[in-house]
Amino acid sequence: MADQKKRLDSNVVGDFYVDGTCINCDTCRQLAPTSFEEVGDFSAVTRQPADERQMHQAYQALLACPVGSIGTEHSDTSRMKEAMASYPLHLEGGVSYCGFNSEKSFGANSFFIEHPDGNWLVDSPRYLTHLVEAFERKGGIAYIFLTHKDDVADAERYAARFGAKRIIHRADFDAAPDAEWVIEEADSIQVMPQFQVIPVPGHTAGSMALLYKEQFLFTGDHLWWDSRQQMLRAPSQLVWRKRVLLDSIQKLLDYRFEWVLAGHGDRTRLPVDEMRVQLRALVERRQPSKVPS
């Protein structure tokens, strides 16, 4: 719950504000980019929502904030309910963004895939009755794909509730030592029709991407979209091995996909050819002779 007494001076005057407990995770800026911006070491409301759409987005951001740093001077219950009901937020083809990012994963995004042979959760949101009921209505969760060790959050509770199998790579196994399915391979594996697990070590030794339908690539912290610069990015800090990371980025050139759905950073959808151009450009920028980006 945000505290008006801790309201940051960087907020503009008006109903919505960010308080000093913000961990600068970027979630609000992804969900409501017209209202929230990074100012110094925190997010702030730099433009109050001015129409219905922006208001809805601001309430979605308030609910998704992992540490409850976003507040309103006058809460609108019906708008709050509408924002709540919008989660999981459908993106395309049965793939949704869960919302309710968890502080345990530093506010990482998580996603839900509806599939006739069993639904998938990709990384974990906060364990919340609203989401549990929503997943239940959609047929539960059969698999929980953990992109890497940092974004496990409440996966264990969701697995216990739905009898789901957690999938993690052996190299990141310490984050979920009782996971039901451990990936040992270094090469990609088709774990079932339409689902391909692609080990992408670099950020961590056990980072993995999940390719679904050759359309959606779930990337954890391996790759994300920078909407301000309009380019793909990969981590420059908190990297286990830089050379390995570059190989893992390059490896993705062998696959076709339209969506990049990241743990941290923006998501995007581009035509397959354009995505490949963006990926090539990233590989080029990350060559050892170039300045890291």
Q: Which of residues 220-279 bind ligand SF4 (CB under 6 A)?
A: none
Residues 38-77 that bind ligand SF4 (CB under 6 A): 43, 65-67, 69-70
Residue closer to ligand SF4 (CB basis): 28 or 121: 28
CB of 42 to ligand SF4, least distance (A): 6
- Does residue number 22 form part of the binding site for ligand SF4 (CB under 6 A)? yes
Return the number of the residue (66 or 201) whose C-beta is nearest ligand SF4. 66
> CB under 6 A: which stretch of 18-26, 46-54, 263-271, 276-284 binds ligand SF4?
18-26
For ligand SF4, give the closer residue by CB, 195 or 225: 225
Query: Binding residues for ligand SF4, how many (CB under 6 A)?
Result: 15
User: Which span (26-34, 164-172, 181-189, 266-274) binds ligand SF4, by CB under 6 A?
Assistant: 26-34
Which one of residues 8, 25, 55, 98 is an interface residue with ligand SF4 (CB under 6 A)?
Answer: 25
Integer Cα distance of 194 and 36 in angstroms:
37
User: Can the peptide bond before residue 88 be classed as cis, meaning omega within 30 degrees of 0?
Assistant: yes
- Should residue 26 be labelled a site residue for ligand SF4 when binding is judged by CB under 6 A? yes
Of positions 49, 107, 125, 201, contacts ligand SF4 by CB under 6 A: 107
- Is 83 a binding residue for ligand SF4 by CB under 6 A? The answer is no
Which residues are at the interface with ligand SF4 (CB under 6 A)? 18, 22-28, 43, 65-67, 69-70, 107
